[in-house]
């Protein structure tokens, strides 16, 4: 049975919200699934992702194939990097403690970057709110080209 890790769409029209699920590849997109791994909300800035990292890693080890979008999400959350490190442990390149140390270091750096992006976005939103709205108005007595024909007045010379 081919198993995929994919997104299952929920939410109303034009307001998507997704569950990250493990499902049989032959099942419909929003149909039956085996296990729910997390959620993905693309409407927030940055997109909010809740994911059970350990369950996702277990399914990857069992051979589940992620779709393109889910692969990017797993990469973003560090699941694919952790799988890569654990493969190095399995091959005997380094021990598990070293792998976990590398992953923790990466995770802290990643969280710091995400916090900075979130703060920058919040700053931009507050600055945008406090800017005054400047509207340009036409000078009085100038009707523009055509001399006022847009108001139903006849053209000059008619």
- The whole-angstrom distance between residue 106's C-alpha and the CA centroid of its chain comes to 20
Give pLDDT, residue 136. 75
Task: Band the pLDDT of 146: cuts 50, 70, 90.
Answer: low
Q: Which CATH superfamily is domain 1-74 in?
A: Ribosomal protein S16 (3.30.1320.10)
The structural domains of the chain, with segments of one domain joined by +, span 1-74, 78-129
Q: CA 51, CA 38: separation in Å to the nearest integer?
A: 4
Task: Give the DSSP H/E element, type plus range, for residue 9.
Answer: strand 3-10
- Is the pLDDT reported for residue 134 higher than 90? no
pTM of the complete model: 0.75
Length of the chain: 158
pLDDT digits (tens, 9 = 90+) for 60-113: 999 999 999 999 999 999 999 999 999 999 999 989 999 999 999 999 999 999
Give CA angle at 8 (3, 12), nearest 5°. 170
pLDDT digits (tens, 9 = 90+) for 14-39: 999 999 999 999 988 888 899 999 99
Count of H helices and E strands in the chain?
Answer: 4, 5
């Amino acid at each position: 049975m081919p198993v995929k890790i994919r997104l299952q769409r929920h939410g109303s029209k034009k307001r998507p919200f997704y569950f990250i699920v493990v499902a049989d590849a032959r099942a419909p997109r929003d149909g039956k699934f085996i296990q729910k791994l997390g959620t993905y909300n693309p409407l927030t800035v940055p997109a909010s992702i809740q994911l059970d990292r350990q369950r996702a890693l277990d399914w990857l080890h069992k051979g589940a194939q992620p779709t393109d979008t889910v692969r990017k999400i797993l990469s973003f959350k560090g699941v694919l990097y952790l799988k890569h490190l654990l493969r190095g442990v399995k091959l005997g390149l380094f021990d598990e403690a070293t792998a976990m140390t590398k992953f923790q270091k990466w995770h802290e750096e990643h969280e710091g970057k995400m916090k900075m992006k979130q703060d920058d976005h919040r700053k931009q939103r507050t600055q945008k709110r406090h800017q005054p709205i400047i509207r340009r108005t036409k000078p009085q007595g100038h009707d523009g080209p055509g001399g006022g024909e847009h108001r139903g007045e006849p053209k000059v010379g008619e």
